[in-house]
Amino acid sequence: MTKMKKIDWLLLLLTIFLVLIGTALIYSASCGIKTELSNLVTRQITWIIIGIFLLLLFINFSYRNLAKISYPLYFLSFLLLLLVLFIGKGRAGTSRWLTFAGFYLQPSEFSKLIFILVAAKYLADIGKKVKRFSFLIPYFLLTAIPFLLILKQPNLGTALVFLPISLGILWVAGIRKKHLTSLILLGLFSSPVLWFTVLKDYQRARLLVFINPNADPLGSGYNIIQSRIAIGSGGLIGKGFLHGTQSHLAFLPEYHTDFIFCVLAEEWGFIGGIVLLFLYFLFLRELIKIAVGASEPFARLTATGIAVMFAFHIFVNIGMALGMLPVAGLPLPFLSYGGSSLLTFLIAVGIALNIKKNEMMF
């Protein structure tokens, strides 16, 4: 009973409520003219059932055991990311999914959470040595391996998630400010190399049209333009559930995944968008409280990484939909359609709840 009282019920209820909102939005998105999307809700509900089971499993699976198996999990993640490059499925020259028993799984989604565990484990083990730059070299290698493998798929959006997670965990671990500043400056100065040698033509085009979408309104700028139209057409209170036109008439691309926020804004309006942002605010606040309240370094760093992962996804996805950030292809937590991302997010919540249950100081 004592441990039950320690469960963060607000975080759990917020998670379930966000999942229900996502299911409703996906149902609305599946009512459009694209008949191949007609069974989206059925598939998503299947993933939800699996995800809730995993969430409950990880609530009761001690995070201390996760610390013990973090390196084997990292090695398994490395093998799967490598395997994707050879036999992975994708479209338009990408290779991101592995098929297993009829299901499509995206190893890059799970690798984000596994990286959080191994990063937290390494920094917790070295302790105060984090202030010595030489001890950070293995940490940079742990970051670079999945980052480069995912970038090779190519999947720039998911690869970029590793950078704020890595820096956020480093900051909480106690890295020297001058070292952190040097890393950020190094990343900025190396961006031209990334631009000319790593990014694909369509990725560079997305970044360029972000400044002026009308420069290519039927090409790279199309997504941003249609996204803004959908959000703007919702007005204050929206057109009503199932009455969105931009998504139902398929003007808005990827409206069930990357641009699911536009479906919400068009049907539920400005008020619906504000309510969603408030729910995410409460959700992130609970994760931060768990990170601050944890006494063990591994628990604190793991909770920090999970909070940063969620915050980055929310910020980038909604910013992209509003046209404030370039199109990056990141799912909106619990709302976007996708089994691998949903499972990753639900497992992450389960781990955070386990930390709250077993490792709170107060």
| Ordered mean pLDDT values, 10 residues apiece, the chain (362 residues) | 71 96 89 62 92 95 94 96 86 72 86 97 94 90 94 87 95 89 80 69 66 60 77 87 71 76 92 96 97 94 97 94 82 93 97 86 42
State the residue for tokens 């480069």.
148
Residue 215 has what pLDDT?
Answer: 59
Residue 94 has what pLDDT?
Answer: 67
Residue 40 has what pLDDT?
Answer: 84
The residue type found at 279 is: L
Residue 361 has what pLDDT?
Answer: 42
Residues 293/8, Cβ–Cβ less than 8 Å: no
Residue 139 has what pLDDT?
Answer: 94
Distance CA 337, CA 347 (A): 16
Residue 362 has what pLDDT?
Answer: 41
Q: Where are the domains of the chain?
A: 2-359
Residue 312 has what pLDDT?
Answer: 96
Rounded to two decimals, the pTM is 0.91
The neighbour count for residue 243, using CB atoms within 10 Å, is 12
